[in-house]
Structure 1
Amino acid sequence: MRSDTSPGPLFSIITVVLNDRKGLGRTRSSLRRQSCRNFAWIVVDGGSEDGTRDDIARFAPEIAWWRSGPDRGLYDAMNIGMAAATGDYLLFLNAGDELASPDSLERLAAVIRAHASPDFLYCDALERTPRGTLLRKPARSHRTVWYGMFTHHQAMIYRRSAVADLSYDLSFKVGADYAFTISTLSRSARVARLREALIIFAPGGLSQAMASVGRRDQTRIRRQYLRLSAISCFLIMVVQSLAMLTRRGFPAFYEICRCRRMYE
C-alpha cells in the first residue's frame, strides 16, 4: 500500500481489534476504497478467538505489519501499533471505524500540503445512530481542549515526528487518548483543521461504555496536565454529565444542538 514514488508512506493507519471480525472487515473495505494509496495499514489484534486472527492472516498482503497476541488493553495495543509505524502521519482507525468517503485520505493529503506539513490535524466526524442515520458531528476548536476531546480520536491525525517520544499512559483506563492529545498540542507549532467529516465512528467504544470512568480520568488529566483547579474540574464534570444525560434521555434534542447535518 505504499506509494511507488515515496520512500515511505504518508499515513500509517493503526487498527486495534479484539474479537470483531465484522468490524475489521468494514474497516478493511473502507481502506480498499481509498483513491489515495500512500498509506500503510498496521493491525494489532489482542489475541482474538473468534476467527479475527485468521482473517488478518488472510488479509496479510494488504497489511504492512501485524501481530496477534495478548496485550494490556486498548492503549497498550495502540502503543504497539505506533512503535511499528513508519508513516509521516498517524491515524488510529479501530475495527468498525470507516473513512467517510473514498477520497478522505486524498483530501487529508491536500490539507497537509496546503499547510506545510502541520504537526497535528483534526476533522469532523460522522456518527451512526441506532436508527441507521449518519449524523455529522462538527469538531470544536482545539483551544477548548480543557473541556475534553474536541472531536473523535479517530478524526485526529498526528505527525509521527511530533509524537515520537510520547506514548499512551496506561494508568488512564479511558482517558489516555485525552492526555496524549493534550501533550501533542503542547508541542505542536502548526495545527490544521479540516472542516469536513473524515471518519464514520463505530458506536459502542470504550469511552461510551465506561463514560463515568472516562470523566474521572479526564479530571485527573486536567489537574495533572492543565493545572486546572479542583473547582473548575468539578464544574466541567457536572456539565459533561448533564450533556450525557441529555444525549441518552433526549437524543433528538441532542442531535439538533450538537449535529449540523444529517445523512441518510
Structure 2
Amino acid sequence: MDVRETNPLKISIITVCYNSAETVRDTIESVLAQTYSNVEYIVIDGASKDSTMDVVRSYESRIATVVSETDSGIYDAMNKGIHAATGDFIGILNSDDIFAHERVLEDLANFLQLNPDVDATYADLVFVQRDATDKLTRRYSSKGFAPWKIRFGFMVPHPTFYARRELFERFGLYKLGYRVSADFELMARFFQAGIKAKRHPQVMVKMREGGISTTGFWWRIHQNMEIVRACRSNGLYTNLCFIAMKVPFKLASYLK
C-alpha cells in the first residue's frame, strides 16, 4: 500500500521568479502535473517587469499563495516563501527548473514516510540545455556527499534539498548578505547543527544551464569567496585552495 494513504505528508514547493516569462510556465506546469496531491504551491515574484505575472495568474486558481512585490533579491524571495509555507517539508524549485517526471513528489513523500526520523533529504539533478530540456548536458550526483566535504566547497544540489519546516524556525532562513551562496551557507549551518539528512536516490530536477551561479569566471570567484566566508562563519576552516580541490571532481562530471 502507498504509505501516503495512511499519513500523508504535506510538501510545500516554493518558486521564486523575476522576469521569468520564458521559463516559468514550464516550472509551474511541472509542479501542477505531479501525481502527489498534498502539495502547497507558493510563487513569489519580485515585481517582474515582463509578462511573468500574466503567466502566473493564468494558473492562480491552482496555486496556494501568489505574491508579487519588490524584494532584496532571490534569497529574500525564498525567505518570504518559507514564511508563507505550512507544509511538513519545504523545497525550492526556481523558475528555470522543472521536475524530472510526474512522480517526483509522490516518490519523495513515500521515501520520507519510510524514513520518519530524517530532518532533511536530498537527491540528484541533471543539467539540460536552456532551450531543450530533453537534452541532458551533465548529471549532478549527490551520491558522494558527506558533511566533511563542505569545507571543500561541496554541497548537495539545492533544488533537491527538502527540509522540515521546523529547521528554518530553529536555525534560521537564508542570509541576505550573500549574493550567490546563501543556499550553501544555509546547508552548511544546518549540517553543522547536526541535522539528520538522508539521500533519496533519484533524479528529481532538471536544471537549465546558464544560472547566475553556474556561469562566468568572476561570478565563480565571487561564489568561492562567499563559500569560504560561509564555512568560516559556521566554524569550518577552509580557504580558496581547499575550495579549488573540488575542480577535478566537477571536470569528471562533465566528462561523464
Same fold (TM over 0.5): yes
Contact 1:128–1:135 (CA under 8 A) maintained in structure 2 = yes
The answer to whether the 8 Å contact 1:15/1:42 transfers is: yes
Deviations 1:82-108 (A, max 9, x none): 111111111100002111111111111
- Report the counterpart of residue 46 of structure 1 in structure 2: 46
Q: Does 1:63 align with 2:70?
A: no
Aligned to 2:14: 14
**1:59 to 1:95, Cα distance in 2 relative to 1, 3 A:** same
Question: 2:140 corresponds to which residue?
Answer: 137
Question: What's the offset of the Cα at 1:172?
Answer: 1.1
Identity of aligned residues (%): 25
Q: Equivalent residue for 2:157?
A: 152
Change (3 A) 1:167 1:108: same
CA distance in 2, matches of 1:112, 1:41: 19
What is the alpha-carbon distance in structure 2 between the residues aligned to residue 108 and residue 239 of structure 1?
A: 32
- Corresponding letter in the other structure for 1:211: R
Assess if the C-alpha contact under 8 Å between 1:11 and 1:87 holds in 2: yes
Alpha carbons 1:153, 1:177 under 8 Å: kept:
yes
Partner in structure 1 of residue 167 of structure 2: 162
Residue from 210, 213, 218 that aligns with 2:222: 213
Show the counterpart of 1:250. Answer: none
CA contact (8 A) 2:10 2:38 kept: yes
Cα separation, 2, equivalents of 1:39 and 1:208: 29
**Shift of the alpha carbon at 1:180?**
0.6
- Following superposition, the deviation at residue 111 of structure 1 comes to 1.0
Q: Deviations over 1:21-41 (max 9, x none)?
A: 121101111112211111111
* Partner secondary structure for residue 22 of structure 1: coil
Contact kept in structure 2, 1:16 and 1:45, CA below 8 Å: yes
CA contact (8 A) 1:146 1:226 kept: no
Deviation per residue, 1:17-76 (Å, 9 max, x gap) = 001112110111111221111111100101111111122222111111111111000111
Corresponding residue to 2:179 among 173, 185, 189: 173
Decide which of 196, 202, 215 is 2:202's aligned counterpart: 196
TM-score by length of 1: 0.84
Unaligned runs of 5+ in 1: 248-252, 260-264
Match of residue 84 from structure 2: 84
The 1:89–1:61 alpha-carbon spacing in structure 2 relative to 1, beyond 3 Å, is same
- Distance in 2 (alpha carbons) for counterparts of 1:142 and 1:91: 20
* Alpha-carbon distance in 1 for matches of 2:7, 2:114: 21
> Any stretches of 5+ residues in structure 2 without a counterpart?
none
**Distance in structure 2 (CA, Å) of the matches to 1:127 and 1:62:** 28
Alpha-carbon distance in structure 2 between the residues aligned to 1:48 and 1:7: 38
**Separation in 1, partners of 2:7, 2:93:** 23
Report if aligned partners of 2:225, 2:240 keep a CA contact under 8 Å in 1: no
Output the TM-score relative to the length of structure 2. Answer: 0.86
- Contact kept in structure 2, 1:45 and 1:67, CA below 8 Å: yes
Deviates more, 1:52-61 or 1:180-189: 180-189
Q: CA RMSD in A?
A: 2.4
Hey, what's the Cα distance between the residues in 2 that align with 1:243 and 1:15?
A: 32
Q: Matched residue of 1:37: which SS?
A: coil
- 1:255 positional shift: 2.1
